[in-house]
Amino acid sequence: MSTVGVRELKNRLTHYLRRTKGGEEVVITERGRPIAVIQSIHAVREVATMEAKLAQLAARGLLTLPTGHPRGRLRRVRIRGRPISETILEDRG
């Protein structure tokens, strides 16, 4: 485990990210006081947010995160004829 100040982390972020990919934990300090830990997503046992859970699954290759921008509001499609609920009930009966 290594310790790095905020300024040093900002200046050499890529270096410290490579170290975390290798399994090392990096403690970030602000004015000599620890404020955060950076570690590989594979090393995290329990994550708190949905974004972190999705990132962890993506890192394992279990899902692919979406790219691009979300689409706007979807247009409502109108279908003529009997309601689908009636068809389902008829099929079940």
Which tens digits make up the pLDDT trace of 5-64? 999 999 999 999 999 988 888 898 988 888 888 888 777 777 677 777 777 788 788 888
78 has a pLDDT exceeding 90:
no
Distance CA 24, CA 37 (A): 10
Residue 30 Cα to chain centre, angstroms: 26
Q: What is the pTM of this model?
A: 0.55
Beta-carbon count within 10 A of 72 CB:
6
**75 band by pLDDT with thresholds 50, 70 and 90:** confident
At residue 10, the 3 state secondary structure works out as helix
Rounded distance between C-alpha atoms, residue 93 and residue 90, angstroms? 5
Confidence of residue 74 (pLDDT cuts 50, 70, 90): confident
* pLDDT value, residue 25: 87
In the chain the domains, ranked by start, together with CATH numbers, are 1-64 (3.40.1620.10)
